[in-house]
Amino acid sequence: MDFLVSHFAEILFYILAALAVLGSVGVITLKNPVNAALSLLGTFFIVAVLFVLQHAEFLAAVQVMVYAGGIMVLFLFVIMLVSVKGLKTQAAFLSPLVPVAIIGAILVGALITSAVLLGVFATGDGGPEALQMVDGAVLGNTEAVGMVLYTKYLVPFEVVSVVLLVAMIGAIVFGRKDRFIEEQEGEVGS
Amino acid sequence: MEHYVPILVYALVAISFPIIALLMAKVVRAGSPDPVKAEPYECGVKTNTVAFDTRFSIRYYLIAVLFVIFDVETIFLFPWAVSFDRLALFGFIEMMVFLAILLVGYVYAWRRGALEWA
């Protein structure tokens, strides 16, 4: 019982990590695309809890808002936009699986070995304090992120707005049929 | 970690509520299965296509992409609002520049009629 209490975070991490792996395996193996999408949604939520375990509360909120909220909507729209009924999923997917599985197993083995050798398994080497400190002052995680993002990483932050602008204009240009744009220009010009 | 106990309780209640409700309904309701009842409901009209066969207009996707972009913008507003007092005027001007650049995209979307449905 003492072991359970003292290693609560680690035990929780391993359970959630296993669930996250199961969820992502479900994404690529489930035949029904809606089931695969729901499996992905579950994986997103588990990853959010993993972020909370690492005391990255802001990232957890971003994970839920952007991935489980926004990206998930995009995936579901893609499923509805294409006719998924006629797709041959199984045959196309299974044939290259064996070499991929071997490479994946080697990479995971290397990752675990290096993690064990470096002694940073499960919790990482940065303590939770690192995510809450700015210039020696202890803040909440979101506040610490804000202080660093809007002072030290000022230029990357402003560049993000340009990247988002490009994505927005690109989506509008690609998403509209040519006749739509011509009609609209006619209306604006008149 | 103990701060998350209310969230854990909340999550457990939220998950168990639909499960209990569905189980209760299964126990209580009268069972008379009918293939017509299992069909997707289309406002009372007889369904013409299988649910997976229906393809949606690309315009839905455009709305979804715009939603994700403004969603990410909101995410950036959040840590700024939390540390607003510490960042003071510098942070305010910084965020206004950020919003001004995205406003260009918003005006473009508006002018192109991407926000209109017809």
Compute the Cα dihedral for B5, A17, A32, B32 and give only its sign.
negative
Q: Who among B53, B65, B83 is closest to A146 (CB)?
A: B83
Instruction: Tell me the ipTM for this assembly.
Output: 0.72
Which of helix, strand or coil describes residue A138?
strand
Residues of chain A in contact with residue B97, where contact means CB-CB under 8 angstroms, are: 158, 161
**CA of B35 to nearest chain A CA: how many angstroms apart?**
21
Burial tier of A52 (Cβ tally within 10 Å: 0-12, 13-18, 19+):
buried
In order of their start, the domains of chain B are 4-111 (1.20.58.1610)
Burial tier of B48 (Cβ tally within 10 Å: 0-12, 13-18, 19+):
exposed
**Predicted local distance difference test score (pLDDT) of residue A188:** 44
Does the pLDDT of residue B23 top 90, yes or no?
Answer: yes
Separation between Cα atoms, residue A56 and residue B80, nearest integer Å: 16
Render the burial of A114-146: b for 16+ CB within 10 Å, e for the rest: eeeeeeeeeeeeeeeeebbebeeeebebbbbbb
**Predicted local distance difference test score (pLDDT) of residue A84:** 67
Select from B100, A175, A164 the least CA-distant residue to A184. Answer: A175
190 residues of chain A, pLDDT tens digit each: 677 777 777 888 889 999 999 999 888 888 788 888 999 999 999 999 898 888 888 889 899 989 998 899 888 888 887 766 666 655 555 566 778 888 888 898 888 888 777 766 555 445 556 666 666 677 778 888 888 888 888 888 889 999 999 988 888 887 765 545 455 544 444 3
Residue to mutate among A6, A168, A182, with most B CBs inside 10 A, is A168
**Predicted local distance difference test score (pLDDT) of residue A173:** 84
**What tokens were used for A75?**
């995936």
What are the pLDDT digits (tens) for B68-97? 999 999 899 988 998 888 888 888 998 999
Q: Count H helices, E strands: chain A?
A: 10, 2
Q: Do B68 and A73 touch (CB under 8 A)?
A: yes
**Predicted local distance difference test score (pLDDT) of residue A187:** 46
Task: Return the number of other C-beta atoms located less than 10 Å from residue A15's C-beta.
Answer: 11
